[in-house]
Amino acid sequence: MVGIIIGLITGGIAGWIAGMIMHSEGGVLRNIILGIIGGVVGSILLGLIGISGSGFIGSIVVSVVGACVVIAVGRVLFK
């Protein structure tokens, strides 16, 4: 249960930071979803080049990178 709560908090923070970087607006739920999806995408993309994040800060960084990629791809697909 604690892991889920930490995952949601990490996802929310990462989604919010990615939204600020990419100048994307959205609510808390959207930020959490973006952060969680961004964590998966970031882990895959950064894993391909041999980079991994560990700990809370590492998870945030990986999730932010992934969420920025998700936002950019979404803009291209739905423009």
pLDDT, tens digit, for every residue of 7-65? 788 888 888 898 899 888 777 788 788 888 888 888 888 889 988 778 888 888 888 89
- The packing angle between helices 55-77 and 2-21, to 10°, is 50
For Cα atoms 6, 17, 10, give the angle at the middle one, nearest 5 degrees.
5
Question: Is the model's pLDDT at 2 over the cut of 80?
Answer: no
**Which tokens in the block code for residue 18?**
């990615």
pLDDT score recorded for residue 41 = 87
Task: pLDDT band for 75, please (50, 70, 90 cuts).
Answer: confident
Bigger pLDDT: 75 or 4? 75
Question: What's the rounded Cα separation, in Å, for the pair 60 and 21?
Answer: 14
